[in-house]
Chains A and B, each alone.
Chain A
Amino acid sequence: MTQVNSSVDTDASSRSRIKIERRVNPKASWTFTMYLLATVIGLGLTALLLLTSGADVIKAFTTLFNGAFGSQKAILATLAKSTPLILTGLATVVAFRAQVWSIGQEGQVYSGAMGAYFGCLIFAGLPAWLYITLVVLSGMIGGALLGGLAAYLKDRYDVNEVISTVMMNYLIVFLLSYLIGGGPWTEISTTVVYQQTGPVPSASELPHLLGSSKLHLGFVFAMVSAVICYILLEKTPLGYEIRAMGFNPIALAYRGTNIGRTVVLVMAISGAIAGLAGVSQIFGTSHRLTVDTLYGLGYTGIIIGMIGGLRPLGTVVAGIVFGGLASGALYMKLLAQVPAALIPAMQGILLLTFLCAGVAARYKIVRVKSDG
């Protein structure tokens, strides 16, 4: 019996005590209440932060909300912003559910974008639908290879995946900087050299949706990925193995499942999804390969996956909320004179309160009469 039984005496003279007990079966309503409370506390703390920066809190929150969800255009922009975040969030879900602590989503976004850019160069001239398909696939392969490499190092040489993925994040961003900052992929310009490639061929661009100038096919990829992740985890033997590995890899290995192979698969799938985030960002939004447009997507994805409770649906919701924060931040910055740097701070605060809510949902507070 390993339950935590921390008891807190409220008042030495009183005969009843407040105790915190672990719930045997967490109730949905209680869980919901906890997350609502987390949101309120998170916004409250953010308000404090806004106050210290001298901004008008009410105005800031209003513009933030309007900028994120206030109009159809705003919503479409939010969904566009959320697209890569949902994908990196899902990549986190697949890895973390297996308790493979990959921090490599960031690097896999870069390697995915690079794979796709490479694809758009070599497959140019093919029929449109085949061209886009191959570009997307080469992006996914780019992410999967980097993820698979970390898994191979873990399986073969017992290299801790946290270390290897973080290190590879650095390596891959330097490789990209070389390729686009003087290397073969650098944009040829007569005046100055930017750290970027030239525009991708227009035939390889992801088509826009609903006539919007921002929302593109990548959002459909994100939604389909979420559904596939759900089916993978809940309905397939591989998903069974991923979840079992997350809870007890020893018993899984005892009953004949090859753990090393499962780790490689998990990391390859996770990498492919993260790679897709890179593809959608480059071919749906920026239309050229740069570091700036990809920076931080992978790390934010970890936060989103965690806030989403490592579940595909929760991750979609969290991704859209964070997309809204990012999208609304621009308006907030313009209209309420709030520094945009407060947005990552706000995301951090929300992550902390949500993680606390996740723990709190598993406990309850009870009053007990004590006769001592």
Chain B
Amino acid sequence: MTTILKAVNLTKRFPGVIANEDVNFELSAGEVHCLFGENGSGKSTLSSCLFGFYQPEGGHIEIEGEIANFKSPRDAIKMGVGMVHQHFVLVSEFTVLENIVVGTHEAGWRLDMFKARSRVTEICNEYRINLDLDAYVRDLAVGQQQWVEILKALYLDAKVLILDEPSAVLTPKESERLFRIIDHMRELGLSILLISHKMIEVMKSDRVTVLRKGKVVGTVTPADVTPQDLTRMMVGRDVELRMVRDRASNLSETPEQVLLVENVSYRDGRGKLALDDVNLHIGKGEILGLAGVSGSGQKELFEILAGVLIADEGKVSLDGEQIQGLPSRQYMDRGVGMVPDDRFREGLIPEFSIRENMILGWQRHDDYTSGMFLNHKQIGIIADGLIDEFQIVAPSGATPVNHLSGGNAQKVILAREFIHSSKLLLANQPTRGLDLGVIEYVYKQIIAKREEGYAVLLASEELEDLLNLSDRIVVMSGGRITGIVDPQTTSIEDIGLLMAGSEKETAA
């Protein structure tokens, strides 16, 4: 097979870190090649270099044997490299066709929409992509928007398609369809570089290049290795992925209700019904899993349960007391802890030190003040104790959290929310973007809280983790609860169906 794209001794540094070091990598024509590695291993940096978004400090990129010096993505596109980012870059008020055509080099001063339409239709037929070209992007589901992004790349004659974690936003059904078409693209001679950390997708590709700490660990053929081998290559050690849960300790059939949510509805700023008549309850010492593709209303639900958002209708009761409508301060005072999904935006003050972040929200609490002043000494003692207890790796408690890795930053939030809450823990995607080692740690901590008698609401994109950890799982789709299932009798496929919106009649 001929090599279409090649990285030779590619090195890219950021202040303080080497994101890629001497990376060598080859993409053959007509293959699906997977870049596999933990967060922060350099996958995204490598793909950004290949797409011309970053300029490497050392080494070079070859396209079909010729050295390519990409100054910007424009150069990469000219050489036939296309990329679909995790976050889509689409104009929601434009139609599909307009999004594909506008801003391309062919557009020039005058748009020939008629010609463009026939080209796009041709591409759709060739790759068996089924999409209404005249639909407005704002009306499309996330999975369909991804197709628009892919079409944008194909319209620009991409020979190499870089897909950055394409299945992260898809339901199991949608991603199945995506991979069917990826297979078809490969048959038609397209080369695909797939960035993923999902084992199933990795095992389906032709070759896998594993990255760890910015370096290539090796390139292997999935047929020759086991998933365990790949995990070991990625992490550098063996990892116990399965959380062993002692379900026997969960014998009391009717646990005391801690949280009761009744008929909660919420309309977002644009008038869309983000939550539609949501009912659920969580008992003492129970983990309730929450599954759903992103944008199904989980975020709004979490915000309402933390008092950050006020529902339009319905009741939220904590230990029998109706608290919906009170300010978030009151929720915190009553023992509700929250681990938000966007940790640097919603959970931390990035420029503040670890110590200062440990008291975020509790800066007026008696423990941290003396008279009208902050008691910095006391804050330091308590915070440094937590740094030890939660094994946060940092030069000192005075280190700003934006100098910490995602995992250590997340531990700061966990430590803060764990010690300041007492009844209910809301954890939205607590393991997103973290290393396996830290994921293991976070889950252990959550289980420990459950043993202490907390009610826990846990949302995760990793359905297997939800199945392993939860006592019950509620599935949301389009702002509605489509089912509440028992993880011991339910398969991932069943949950996938519920995530896609088909209702389940029997609740567990």
Contact = CB atoms under 8 A, between A and B. Distances in A.
- A and B: bona fide binding partners: yes
Interface of A: 1, 3, 5, 7, 21-24, 231, 235-237, 239-241, 243-244, 247-248, 250-258, 368, 370-372
A24 B345 contact: no
B349 A247 contact: yes
B57 A250 contact: no
User: B55, B356, B364: which has the most chain A beta carbons within 10 Å?
Assistant: B364
Nearest to B328: A256
Contacts of A248: 345, 348-351
B405 to A, nearest CB: 12
B364 A21 contact: no
**A interface secondary structure, majority:** mixed
Contacts of B364: 237
Contacts of A235: 373-374, 376
19 contacts: A1-B19, A24-B403, A236-B373, A240-B356, A240-B359, A240-B363, A247-B351, A248-B348, A253-B308, A254-B347, A255-B328, A255-B332, A255-B360, A255-B361, A256-B329, A256-B361, A257-B363, A370-B58, A372-B59
A243 B349 CA distance: 9
Interface in B77-119: none
Contacts of B369: 237
A254 B349 contact: no
Given A21-B15, A256-B307, A256-B331, 15 more contacts: A5-B14, A24-B16, A24-B403, A237-B363, A237-B369, A240-B363, A248-B348, A251-B346, A251-B347, A251-B360, A256-B332, A257-B361, A258-B327, A370-B58, A372-B59
Contacts of A240: 356, 359, 363, 374
A258 B58 CA distance: 49
Contacts of B57: 368, 370
B329 A258 contact: yes
Contacts of A21: 15
Nearest to B58: A371
Contacts of B356: 240, 244
A251 B363 CA distance: 13
Given A255-B332, A258-B329, A244 B360 contact: yes
Contacts of B234: none
Given A24-B16, A370-B57, A247 B350 contact: yes
Nearest to A363: B15
Contacts, number: 94
Contacts of B374: 235-237, 239-240
Interface residues of B, number: 44
User: B15, B54, B356, B372: which has the most chain A beta carbons within 10 Å?
Assistant: B15
B345 A256 contact: no
B338 interface: yes
Nearest to A22: B15
B363 A241 contact: yes
Interface of B: 14-16, 19, 45, 54-55, 57-60, 69, 306-308, 327-329, 331-332, 338, 340, 345-352, 356, 359-364, 368-369, 372-374, 376, 403
A5 B49 CA distance: 13
Contacts of B373: 231, 235-236
Contact of B308 (A5, A22, A231, A254): A254
B166 to A, nearest CB: 22
A238 to B, nearest CB: 9
A21 B13 CA distance: 10
Contacts of A3: 14-15
Contacts of B329: 256-258
B415 to A, nearest CB: 14
A371 B228 CA distance: 38
B430 to A, nearest CB: 15
A5 B48 CA distance: 14
B436 to A, nearest CB: 21
A151 B331 CA distance: 26
A372 B345 CA distance: 39
A10 to B, nearest CB: 15
B397 to A, nearest CB: 16
Given A3-B15, A372-B60, A252 B372 contact: no
User: A3, A241, A255: which has the most chain B beta carbons within 10 Å?
Assistant: A255
A1 B14 contact: yes
A244 B58 contact: no
A247 B403 contact: no
B372 A236 contact: yes
Contacts of B306: 254
Which 6 pairs between the two chains have the least Cβ-Cβ distance?
A: A255-B361, A256-B329, A237-B363, A240-B363, A237-B364, A247-B351
Contact of B340 (A254, A256, A258): A254
A23 B15 contact: yes
Contacts of B362: 255
A241 B338 CA distance: 19
Contacts of B15: 3, 21-24
User: A1, A22, A239, A241: which has the most chain B beta carbons within 10 Å?
Assistant: A1
A253 B346 CA distance: 8
Nearest to A240: B363
Nearest to A17: B57
Contacts of A371: 58-59
Contacts of B19: 1
User: B347, B360, B369, B372: which has the most chain A beta carbons within 10 Å?
Assistant: B360
A353 to B, nearest CB: 25
A160 B306 CA distance: 28
A70 B275 CA distance: 71
A254 B15 CA distance: 31
Contact of A247 (B58, B352, B359): B352
A252 B403 CA distance: 19
A256 B60 CA distance: 50
A89 to B, nearest CB: 22
A17 to B, nearest CB: 9
A237 B329 CA distance: 15
Nearest to B340: A254
B346 A5 contact: no
A39 to B, nearest CB: 27
